[in-house]
Amino acid sequence: MPIGNAQPSVRPAPAGRTGPARGGLSTERAGNRARRSRGGARAERFAPYILVAPAVLIIVALRLYPLILGVNFSFTGDGVRNGLAVGLDNYRELFHDPLFRTALGNVGLLVLLLPVAVAIPGLLATFIYLRVPGHRFYRGVYFFPAVLSPVIVGAIFNLLLAFDGPLNAVLASVGVRPVDWLGDPDVAMFMVVGVHVWATFGMALVVFLAGFATLDAALLDAARVDGASLPQVIWHVIVPGLSRTIQFVFVTTLIGMLTSMFGLLFVMTSGGPEGSTYLPEYYIWIQQGQMNRPALASAASTILFVIMIVVGLLQIKLLKRAGRED
Amino acid sequence: MKQRALWSAVLVAGLALAGCGSATDSDSSSGGSEEKLVVWDWKSGEASAAPYIEKAKADFAKKHPNVTVEFVAQPFDQYYTLLGAAIQSGKGPDVILFNGGGQIRDRVDALAPLDEYVADDRQRLAGWDAFTKDGKIYAGPVTLQGHPIYYNKALYERAGLDPASPATTWTEFVADCAAIARAGAKCFALGNKEGVGIQFWLSALASGILTAQEYDDWIAGRRDWNSANVKRVFQLWQEAGEAGLNNDGANSTAMFNDSFALFQSSKAAHVIGLMSDVGHWKDFNEFLTPGKLGVMDTPVVTAGTTPSLPYDGGIGYGVAKWTKDPKVAADLVRSLTSTEALKAFYAEAGAIAADSTIDVSQAGPAAATIVSEIKGGKPALHVALSSKTLDLMGRLSQQLLSGSITVDEVVKQLAASDQAG
The per-residue pLDDT for range B128-145, each reduced to its tens digit, is 988 999 999 999 999 999
A256 close contact with B: CB closer than 8 A: no
**Do B238 and B333 have their domain in common?**
no
Residues 72-101 of B with CB under 8 A from A: 78, 80-81, 84, 88
Bridge-partner residues for B145, per DSSP? B312
Task: Name chain A contacts of B84, Cβ cutoff 8 Å.
Answer: 288-289, 292, 294
Grade residue A193 by pLDDT with cuts at 50, 70 and 90.
very high
Task: Count other Cβ atoms within 10 Å, centred on residue B31.
Answer: 19
Mean pLDDT computed over A15-42: 53
What does the pLDDT read at residue A16? Answer: 41
The answer to whether A184 and A273 are in contact (CB under 8 A) is yes
- Element holding B73 (H helix, E strand): strand B68-73
Cα distance from B187 to chain A (closest Cα, Å)? 17
Grade residue A236 by pLDDT with cuts at 50, 70 and 90.
confident
| Mode of pairing for the β-strands spanning B68-73 and B95-99 | unpaired
> Which of B26, B248, B402 comes nearest A82 by C-beta?
B26
Grade residue B329 by pLDDT with cuts at 50, 70 and 90.
very high
B16 close contact with A: CB closer than 8 A: yes
Taking 60 as the threshold, does the pLDDT of residue A213 lie above it? yes
| Mode of pairing for the β-strands spanning B68-73 and B268-272 | unpaired
What does the pLDDT read at residue A230? Answer: 86
Cα distance from B59 to chain A (closest Cα, Å)? 34
Task: Name chain B contacts of A72, Cβ cutoff 8 Å.
Answer: 15, 18-21
The answer to whether B288 and B158 are in contact (CB under 8 A) is no
Domain of B57 in residue numbering reads as: 36-144+312-374
**Do B291 and B260 have their domain in common?**
yes
B15 close contact with A: CB closer than 8 A: yes
What does the pLDDT read at residue B29? Answer: 41
Which residues of B74-158 form beta strands (DSSP E)?
95-99, 132-133, 136-137, 139-141, 144-146, 149-152
CA distance B249 to A188: 13
What does the pLDDT read at residue B89? Answer: 85
> Which residues have C-beta within 8 Å of that of residue A288, sequence separation ≥ 6?
A294, A297, B81, B84
Q: Which residue of B has its CA nearest to A187?
A: B252
**Do B174 and B289 have their domain in common?**
yes
A75 close contact with B: CB closer than 8 A: yes
- Element holding A316 (H helix, E strand): helix A294-325
Cα distance from B393 to chain A (closest Cα, Å)? 10
Residue B16 lies in a domain: no
Task: Name chain A contacts of B90, Cβ cutoff 8 Å.
Answer: none
CA distance A124 to A149: 22
**Do B212 and B345 have their domain in common?**
no
Taking 80 as the threshold, does the pLDDT of residue A17 lie above it? no
CA distance A211 to A233: 16
What does the pLDDT read at residue B14? Answer: 52
Grade residue B177 by pLDDT with cuts at 50, 70 and 90.
very high
Burial A95-118 (b: 16+ CB within 10 A, else e): eeeebbebbbebbebbeebbeebb
DSSP per-residue codes, B137-171: E-EEE-BEEE--EEEEHHHHHHTT--TTS--SBHH
What does the pLDDT read at residue A18? Answer: 44
Taking 60 as the threshold, does the pLDDT of residue B352 lie above it? yes
Mean pLDDT computed over B153-170: 95
Residue B237 lies in a domain: yes
3-class state of residue A111 by DSSP: helix
Backbone angles phi, psi at A201, to 5 degrees: -70, -15
Residue B25 lies in a domain: no
Which ranges in B188-338 belong to alpha helices (H)? 197-206, 212-219, 228-242, 260-264, 281-288, 326-336
Q: Which residue of B has its CA nearest to A90?
A: B16
CA quadruple B74, B195, B273, B201: dihedral sign:
negative
Grade residue B90 by pLDDT with cuts at 50, 70 and 90.
confident
| More confident site: B21 or B103 | B103
Domain limit, last residue, from B336, B351, B374: B374
CA distance B232 to B210: 9
The answer to whether A109 and A285 are in contact (CB under 8 A) is no
Grade residue B271 by pLDDT with cuts at 50, 70 and 90.
very high
| Mode of pairing for the β-strands spanning B186-188 and B268-272 | parallel
**Do B178 and B257 have their domain in common?**
yes
Residue B51 lies in a domain: yes
CA distance A193 to A208: 21
Mean pLDDT computed over B204-218: 95
What does the pLDDT read at residue B9? Answer: 56
What does the pLDDT read at residue B231? Answer: 96
Mean pLDDT computed over A148-158: 93
Share of chain B above pLDDT 70, in %: 92
Looking up residue B264, the CATH number of its domain turns out to be 3.40.190.10
CB contact under 8 A, A75 and B18: yes
Taking 70 as the threshold, does the pLDDT of residue A323 lie above it? no
Nearest partner of A245 among A219, A213, A223, A221, judged by Cα: A213
CA quadruple B288, B289, B291, B293: dihedral sign:
positive
Taking 70 as the threshold, does the pLDDT of residue A263 lie above it? yes
- Element holding B418 (H helix, E strand): helix B407-420
Residue B274 lies in a domain: yes
Taking 60 as the threshold, does the pLDDT of residue A31 lie above it? no
What does the pLDDT read at residue A80? Answer: 80
| More confident site: B421 or B30 | B421
Which residue, among A159, A161, A164, A292, would best test binding to B if mutated, counting the most B CBs under 10 Å from its CB? A292
- Element holding B86 (H helix, E strand): helix B79-89
CA distance A256 to A199: 11
Among A64-68, A205-209, B7-11, the least confident range: B7-11
Among A34-38, A99-103, A263-267, B39-43, the least confident range: A34-38
Share of chain B above pLDDT 90, in %: 67
CA distance A77 to B187: 46
Among A256-260, B194-198, B215-219, B405-409, the least confident range: A256-260
Cα distance from B26 to chain A (closest Cα, Å)? 7
Taking 80 as the threshold, does the pLDDT of residue B1 lie above it? no
**Do B140 and B167 have their domain in common?**
no
**Do B59 and B158 have their domain in common?**
no
CB contact under 8 A, A86 and B19: yes
Grade residue B168 by pLDDT with cuts at 50, 70 and 90.
very high
What does the pLDDT read at residue A32? Answer: 56
**Do B246 and B102 have their domain in common?**
no
| More confident site: B40 or A217 | B40
**Do B397 and B285 have their domain in common?**
yes
Taking 50 as the threshold, does the pLDDT of residue A133 lie above it? yes
The answer to whether B137 and B127 are in contact (CB under 8 A) is no
Q: Which residue of A has its CA nearest to B14?
A: A72
A6 close contact with B: CB closer than 8 A: no
CB contact under 8 A, A163 and B252: yes
In the A/B pair of chains, how many CB contacts fall below 8 A?
Answer: 131
A219: left (phi over 0), alpha (psi -120 to 50) or beta: alpha
Grade residue B5 by pLDDT with cuts at 50, 70 and 90.
low
**Do B249 and B347 have their domain in common?**
no
Grade residue A44 by pLDDT with cuts at 50, 70 and 90.
confident
Nearest partner of B284 among B369, B207, B377, judged by Cα: B369
**Do B206 and B77 have their domain in common?**
no
**Do B139 and B236 have their domain in common?**
no
Task: Count other Cβ atoms within 10 Å, centred on residue A47.
Answer: 10
What's the mean per-residue pLDDT of chain B? Answer: 89
Residue B7 lies in a domain: no
Count CA within 13 A, CB hemisphere, residue A68.
14
> Which of B84, B248, B402 comes nearest A185 by C-beta?
B402
What does the pLDDT read at residue B2? Answer: 54
The answer to whether A72 and B19 are in contact (CB under 8 A) is yes
Grade residue A39 by pLDDT with cuts at 50, 70 and 90.
low
What does the pLDDT read at residue B57? Answer: 93
Mean pLDDT computed over A274-297: 91
Local structure of residue B194 (DSSP, 8 states)? S
B303 close contact with A: CB closer than 8 A: no
B107 close contact with A: CB closer than 8 A: yes
Taking 60 as the threshold, does the pLDDT of residue B6 lie above it? no
Mean pLDDT computed over B204-214: 95
Total structural domains in chain B? Answer: 2
What does the pLDDT read at residue A241? Answer: 86
Grade residue B100 by pLDDT with cuts at 50, 70 and 90.
confident
